[in-house]
Amino acid sequence: MKKRVGLLLAIMTAFVMLVMPLGNTTHAQAADNSLEKIQKKGVLVMGTSPDYPPYEFQATVNGKSTVVGMDVQIGKKVAKDLGVKLKIKSMSFDSLLVALQTGKVDMIISGMNPTPARRKNVSFTHTYYQGGYDIVINKTDKAKYKNKDSFGGGTLGAQTGTTQYNAAKSQTKNTTVKGMTSQSDLILALQSHKLDGVAMEKPSAEAYVSNNKQLAAIPSDFNMSSSATSSAIAFRKGSTSLVNKVNKTVDQIKKENLVKKDYLPAAGKYLKTNTVNTSMTHYWKAFLTGIEYTLIITVCSVFFGFIIGIILALARMARGNFFKNLLRWVATAYVEFIRGTPMMVQVMFVYFGLGLFVNLPALTSGIIAISLNSGAYVAEYIRGGINSVDVGQTEAARSLGMSNGKTMRYVILPQALKNIWPSLGNEFITLIKDSSIVSIIGVTELIYQSNIVRSDTYRGVAPIVVIMVLYFILTFTASRILNYFERKMQHA
Ligand code: ARG
């Protein structure tokens, strides 16, 4: 038994050692042809987290939910000056830096401060905007809170991965600091009194307050360096030629004061108009798109997960010689490793980690990660199903001269699948719900769409209720269909 555990640990250690150097493969080690590469590609991919008005946020433009804001205007000007097209990729703020380092995006324009810690891993342009930090509170608490020091014994929220989150952690006393991925979730938590305040940049605080009459903004009085209150564009470390070129655009934006004269007023118009129709029925297209992507991810993951599950189940039952024993150990190590690591980490590893070698779209990465995860669980269902078939079936088939392979394929597997149909059905329904995990890499399934609707309408709870009902309709319908086929199989 000790030998087996040792071999299992050796296989898993080898896998981790193989993966470890991935994080050190940065584009900075390549010669700097960054400007030439972008102009040759013809497209500049901008990473942003569109929950931070007026920098970047969702608004309905010509009936379509679109990313708008001053950073988008800056991205468009940068792309125009480079003579390339702009493509915007939305994701959570704390995924942006890893997306840049793994080549998922070419630049980050997301109200990002060029702090010394970030400069170690990315190259920044000159700053294009100088802000400062406020704390958004419920207006009814205006008499209670004056600045960051008023929250002793209370809870202050800030977006994870941001400067304000670090400032709140280091510059408040006796205050619980709650980090959340989405700015919209923070505002929702504030409105439902789960938080006493939310720290963010002044322009963003003003935007949320102008769209939510029950909110107010107070000065944070955070002690911040100028790099922590300004915004700049981030490129991969060592992209000197590209940064130098884009600096010309940034310098022109500052010289002509385009942010204050043009970009902020334009963003403000969207802030006023985008709450024209905030009824959930107005966003039926967004929810329908979410359902479409949820079903695509689920059906593909169930199909590929089932194939992976059969292969793993048979591998885990291999015996007889060194090769078959090794196959069994590798399959066992895979199943234990996948079942022992969170699906969120697996999704991020496939999208960002494998992204160092092959540039997989977010949807493909999500389907691969969920299929690999589901395969490990389906393998156990199938193995249990095979073991549940009476051994007499194998003996009878073998006595008729059927080979092991034919016995498994024509006698054992069909009976095993009939026995595990309810487990496979549960796996399908679980995947409908688990598919929401890919929203962290920007796949536009139901949760992602609800975040868009929330930041578009500034309504927190309504979109959540809508997707709860939609998920229930999907899972309930799926379970009815699966039960129908299960009854048919029982009578077959
Ligand atoms: N300026 C802060 C930082 O760089 C927060 C930026 C948040 N941006 C966003 N789009 N959510 O850490």
Which atom of ligand 1 is nearest to 115's Cα?
4
Q: Please tell me the residue having the least CA distance from ligand 1 atom 12.
A: 162
Q: Please tell me the residue having the least CA distance from ligand 1 atom 1.
A: 112
pLDDT score at 82? 97
Question: How far is the C-alpha of 128 from the C-alpha of 362, rounded, in Å?
Answer: 30
Q: Output the CA 164–ligand 1 centroid distance in Å.
A: 8
Q: Output the CA 293–ligand 1 centroid distance in Å.
A: 28
Q: Which of 162, 166, 204, 227 has most ligand 1 atoms within 8 Å of its beta carbon, as the pocket-test mutant? A: 162
The pTM for the full model equals 0.76
Question: Is the previous residue joined to 219 through a cis bond, with omega within 30 degrees of 0?
Answer: no
pLDDT score at 8? 55
As a whole number of Å, the CA-based R_g of the chain is 27
- Using alpha carbons, list the distances in angstroms from residue 35 to 26, 246, 364: 17, 9, 28
Which residue numbers in the chain have pLDDT < 50?
A: 19-29, 274
Q: Please tell me the residue having the least CA distance from ligand 1 atom 4.
A: 112
Question: How far is the C-alpha of 160 from the C-alpha of 306, rounded, in Å?
Answer: 36
Q: Output the CA 42–ligand 1 centroid distance in Å.
A: 28
Q: Output the CA 442–ligand 1 centroid distance in Å.
A: 17
- Phi, psi of 468, rounded to the nearest 5 degrees: -60, -45
Which atom of ligand 1 is nearest to 163's Cα?
12
Tokens read off for 355: 């992204």
Q: Which of 90, 92, 113, 202 has most ligand 1 atoms within 8 Å of its beta carbon, as the pocket-test mutant? A: 113
Strand partners, 58: 67
SS3 420: helix
- Phi, psi of 158, rounded to the nearest 5 degrees: -160, 155
Protein residues whose CB sits closer than 6 Å to any atom of ligand 1? 49, 51-52, 55-56, 93, 110-113, 159, 162-164, 183, 201
Please name the residue that has the structure tokens 């902020």.
Answer: 264
Which atom of ligand 1 is nearest to 231's Cα?
1
Q: Please tell me the residue having the least CA distance from ligand 1 atom 5.
A: 162
SS3 432: helix
Q: Output the CA 38–ligand 1 centroid distance in Å.
A: 25
Q: Look at residues 37, 72, 36 and name the one whose alpha carbon lies nearest to residue 57.
A: 72
Please name the residue that has the structure tokens 């796996």.
Answer: 427
Q: Output the CA 386–ligand 1 centroid distance in Å.
A: 53
Q: Look at residues 70, 73, 62, 448 and name the one whose alpha carbon lies nearest to residue 273.
A: 62
Q: Look at residues 177, 179, 175 and name the one whose alpha carbon lies nearest to residue 153.
A: 175
Q: Output the CA 93–ligand 1 centroid distance in Å.
A: 7
Phi-psi region of 321 (alpha: psi -120 to 50; beta: other; left: phi over 0): beta
Which atom of ligand 1 is nearest to 55's Cα?
10
What domains can you pick out in the chain, each with its CATH number? 7-129+228-276 (3.40.190.10), 133-223 (3.40.190.10), 282-491 (1.10.3720.10)
